[in-house]
Amino acid sequence: MTGLYIHIPFCATRCSYCDFYSQTDSALLSDYVEALIREMHLRRGEITDPVGTIYFGGGTPSLLSPRELEHILDEACRLFPLSSDAEITLEANPDDLTQAYTQEIAALPINRISMGAQSFRDEDLLFLNRRHSSRQVYEAVDHCRHVGLTNLSIDLIYGLPEQTPARWQDNITAICSIAPPHISAYHLIYEEGTSLTRMLRTGKIREVEEDVSLEFFCMLREQLTEAGYEHYEISNFARPNRHSRHNSSYWNDAPFLGLGPSAHSFDGKCTRRANVADLRRYLAAIAEGEAPYSKEILSANERYNETLMTRLRTAQGLPISLIEERFGAKRAEECLQAVAPFVRNGLLVKQEDGRIRLTERGIFLSDSIISELFIV
Ligand code: SF4
Q: What is the pLDDT of residues 17-58, one digit of tens each?
A: 999 989 999 999 999 999 999 999 999 999 989 999 999 999
Ligand 1 close to Cβ of residue 194 (< 6 A): no
313 Cβ neighbours under 8 A, 6+ residues apart: 233, 234, 251, 358, 366, 370
C-alpha 279/C-alpha 10 separation (Å) is 10
Position 168 scores a pLDDT of: 98
Residue closest by Cα to atom 6 of ligand 1: 18
pLDDT band at 225 (very low <50, low <70, confident <90, very high): very high
Ligand 1 close to Cβ of residue 73 (< 6 A): no
CA of 262 to the centre of ligand 1 (A): 14
Q: What is the pLDDT of residues 73-104, one digit of tens each?
A: 999 999 999 999 999 999 999 999 999 999 99
CA of 60 to the centre of ligand 1 (A): 7
Residue closest by Cα to atom 4 of ligand 1: 15
Q: What is the pLDDT of residues 320-356, one digit of tens each?
A: 999 999 999 999 999 999 999 999 999 999 999 999 9
Ligand 1 close to Cβ of residue 116 (< 6 A): yes
**Beta bridge mates, 116:** 155
CA of 23 to the centre of ligand 1 (A): 9
Of 7, 8, 10, 11, best ligand 1 pocket probe by most atoms within 8 Å of the beta carbon? 11
CA angle 186, 192, 197 (to 5 degrees): 75
Q: Do residues 172 and 121 make contact, with C-beta atoms less than 8 angstroms apart?
A: no
CA of 156 to the centre of ligand 1 (A): 13
pLDDT over 90 at 364, yes or no: no
What DSSP character marks residue 339? Answer: H
C-alpha 274/C-alpha 295 separation (Å) is 7
Ligand 1 close to Cβ of residue 58 (< 6 A): yes
Residue closest by Cα to atom 2 of ligand 1: 59
Q: Do residues 374 and 308 make contact, with C-beta atoms less than 8 angstroms apart?
A: yes
Domains of the chain: 2-251 (3.20.20.70), 300-373 (1.10.10.920)
What DSSP character marks residue 62? Answer: G
Q: How far is CA 100 from the centre of its chain?
A: 27
250 Cβ neighbours under 8 A, 6+ residues apart: 3, 256, 310
Atom of ligand 1 nearest to the CA of 118: 1
Instruction: Tell me the residue ranges of DSSP E strands in the chain.
Output: 2-8, 51-58, 82-92, 112-118, 152-158, 182-187, 230-233, 236-238, 256-259, 264-266, 271-275, 293-297, 318-319, 348-350, 355-358
Ligand 1 close to Cβ of residue 22 (< 6 A): yes
pLDDT over 90 at 253, yes or no: no
Ligand 1 close to Cβ of residue 18 (< 6 A): yes
Element housing 224 (H / E): helix 210-226
